[in-house]
Amino acid sequence: MKESSCAGLVQEGSCEEKCACKEGYLRNANGECVMKDECECYEGVSGTTPIPQGFHVNVGNCVFCQCTAGGYICTEREDCCEIGEWSEWSSCSVQCGEGNQTRTREKYGKGCPNDTTVSEDKKCVNDGCPCVHRGKVFEANTPFEDSCKKCECLNGQFQCTPTKEEDELFPNDACTHMCYCNATGDEICPQHLPPSCKAHRESCNNSTHVQRPTDNPCCPDCVPIMQPCVMSSIKATLNTIHPVHGSCQSQNEIEINSCSGSCGASSETSVELMYRQGRFQLSTESGCSCCTGTHESKDQSFVCNDGAVIKIAVDSITGCGCQSCGGN
């Protein structure tokens, strides 16, 4: 015959073909016939683990469960209030400047007041605020520098450090005015600079000269670019009129050397061959660089119109070096 068991009190279809307990008794999980109020408990309708009579367990701070004759029953304590964990902090309430953040925790239990949520606030600062200087917008943490100060954009305001002493005079970038920094770090430019400085700068030939700084940054010195003292050469045919043979021409092209360069200052030695006193003599003109040539004279063959071949001494430069200034 089919017999009901203690498990059958909560589980349908759990009857098994066994020897029946006598009337008023049920078979427990151990196979014993017991009275109904002595049966074990099962948690929920699908529970399979037997819970012995009298078992008691706390589920949280405010709820306890126990196995009784009426089954597995969980009870909420009347005077208990349990508080949950804090939530994460919310985002800052503002995108720029000082705002608030909030977090909450829930209350559980019959002993809790009507307000079942606890909240907590704290201040927050969002430093992503841009800064504005003379109509120009600077993003947060962006550096800014002018003639008077170095600044950084922090929380919508520039934090600045002076770069010049108050009332210290300096030329503006265009070299048109003399300026100073006032107490608030602003550049004040009341004094015009003389135009001669600008003319001096613009007249300096940057291909041959360089502007060297002076005490006045708007009026640099224009100095020649230093170049080595070197010799250069060209070849030419020389012509002259001989008092006896008439028109004569050098039999071969003659190498004519010249010196150029600088020796502390730049200049160039120009060379010209002049026929004087029966010979071709060098006529040189040198600036103050003193890049000067050393001379020697060599006889060269000339062919004249009357067929005569004559020798004429021709001066030439054989080397260049830095020597005392002057011409010869």
Q: How does pLDDT run across 27-74, given as a tens digit for each residue?
A: 887 888 888 778 888 876 667 788 888 888 888 788 888 888 778 888
Residue 305's nearest CA partner among 263, 246, 243, 254 is 246
Instruction: Using DSSP bridges, classify how beta strands 33-35 and 25-27 pair: parallel, antiparallel or unpaired.
Output: antiparallel
The pLDDT tens digits of the residues spanning 203-222 come to 888 777 888 887 777 788 88
24 burial level (CB within 10 Å; 0-12, 13-18, 19+): exposed
Residue 130's nearest CA partner among 121, 143, 139, 122 is 139
Q: Say if residues 169 and 154 touch (Cβ distance below 8 Å).
A: no
Give the position of tokens 């954009």: 153
Upper half-sphere CA count for residue 229 (Cβ side, 13 Å): 21
Q: How high is the pLDDT of residue 4?
A: 56
The pLDDT tens digits of the residues spanning 110-157 come to 888 776 788 899 999 877 788 888 788 888 888 888 889 999 888 778
Q: How high is the pLDDT of residue 271?
A: 57
Best mean pLDDT range from 160-164, 166-170, 249-253, 267-271? 249-253
The phi, psi pair for 202, rounded to 5°, reads: -75, -25
Q: Say if residues 312 and 300 touch (Cβ distance below 8 Å).
A: yes
133/319: higher pLDDT: 319
6/93: higher pLDDT: 93
Q: Say if residues 232 and 255 touch (Cβ distance below 8 Å).
A: no
Domains along the chain with CATH numbers? 2-76 (no CATH), 82-126 (2.20.100), 132-222 (no CATH), 230-322 (2.10.90)
Dihedral angle, C-alpha 15, 19, 23, 28, nearest 10 °? -60
262 burial level (CB within 10 Å; 0-12, 13-18, 19+): buried
The pLDDT tens digits of the residues spanning 182-200 come to 888 888 888 887 777 777 7
pLDDT of 81 higher than 60: yes
CA angle 18, 19, 20 (to 5 degrees): 105
Q: Which amino acid is at 34?
A: V
Q: How high is the pLDDT of residue 21?
A: 83
Residue 86's nearest CA partner among 120, 111, 131, 50 is 120
Residue 302's nearest CA partner among 234, 244, 243, 247 is 247
